[in-house]
Amino acid sequence: MDNLEKYKNAFKEAFEIGDEIITDELAYESIPEWDSVGHMRLMAAVEDAFDIMLETEDILDFGTFGKGKEILLKYDVTI
Partner 1 sequence: MKVKLNGLKIPHIATCLPKKVVPMSTYEKFFSAKDIKRIIESTGVESVHVADENLCSSDYYAETAKKLMYEGNFKPDDFDGIVMVFQTPDYNIPTAATIMQDRLGLPKDTVAFEINYGCTGYIYGIYQASLLVSSGSCRRVLVFTGDTHVRTLHEEDRANRMILGDGFAVTIVERGEDEFAFEIFSDGSGYKQIIIEAGGFRMPKSEKTSEPIIDAEGNTHRLEYTFMDGMAIMNFSLKQVPPLIEDSLKFVGWEKNSVGLFALHQANGLILDFLRRRIKVEPERCPIAMKNIGNTAGSSIPLMLSLCHENFSENQLEKVLMCGFGVGLSLGTAAVNLSKTKIYDTWEF
Residues that bind partner 1 (CB under 8 A): 16, 28-29, 32-33, 35-41, 43-44, 47, 53, 56, 59-60
End-to-end CA distance of the chain: 12
CB of 52 to partner 1, least distance (A): 11
CB of 57 to partner 1, least distance (A): 8
SS3 of the chain: CCHHHHHHHHHHHHHCCCHHHCCCCCECCCCCCCCHHHHHHHHHHHHHHHCCCCCHHHHHHCCEHHHHHHHHHCCCCCC
CB of 74 to partner 1, least distance (A): 17
Which CB atom, from 2 or from 36, has the smaller least distance to partner 1?
A: 36
Which CB atom, from 4 or from 37, has the smaller least distance to partner 1?
A: 37
